[in-house]
Amino acid sequence: MKYTVSGTNELKKIAETLLSKLSQGDKAVVVALSGDLGAGKTTFTKELAELLGVTEVVASPTFVIERVYPIDVKGFTTLVHIDAYRMETAEEILRLGWEEVTADPKNIIVIEWPEKVADAIPEDAIRLNFEHGETENERIIELHD
């Protein structure tokens, strides 16, 4: 599905749509967010985190690579937010314990810049692509699930 949004309320609606489709399986749910700098990936993650009950300030993990938030929604207990922008190979994310994190069915993992570690992203990941629109606030978001 393709969406054109111009504000956080519309982003929240997309996050709600995504959340309504999530169900706990035998491994973590991976949500891969692609797009240029400033296209809305972190803002979307903030909206999703709020819907998941995260009360902490959700900031981009660009320099720390990973942030972890406790949640309690639909059987999920942890939101893991990863920014792979500074990574160059999938091996780098594997060193962070990626296999263990993705094996835990109680995790929702949101990863920005998944193309940087493409070999490590599961084939069944939910993929969203963010693009700048025609105006300063407009974003085009394509959801592939």
Q: Indicate the domain borders of the chain.
A: 2-144
pLDDT at res. 145: 66
What residues contact 8, with CB distance under 8 A and at least 6 apart? 43, 47
pLDDT at res. 1: 87
2-144 belongs to CATH 1.20.200.10: no
pLDDT at res. 59: 81
Per-residue pLDDT of the chain (145 residues; tens, 9 = 90+): 899 999 888 999 999 999 998 988 999 999 999 999 989 999 999 999 999 999 988 887 776 789 999 999 999 999 999 999 999 999 999 998 999 999 999 999 999 999 999 999 999 999 999 999 998 889 999 998 6
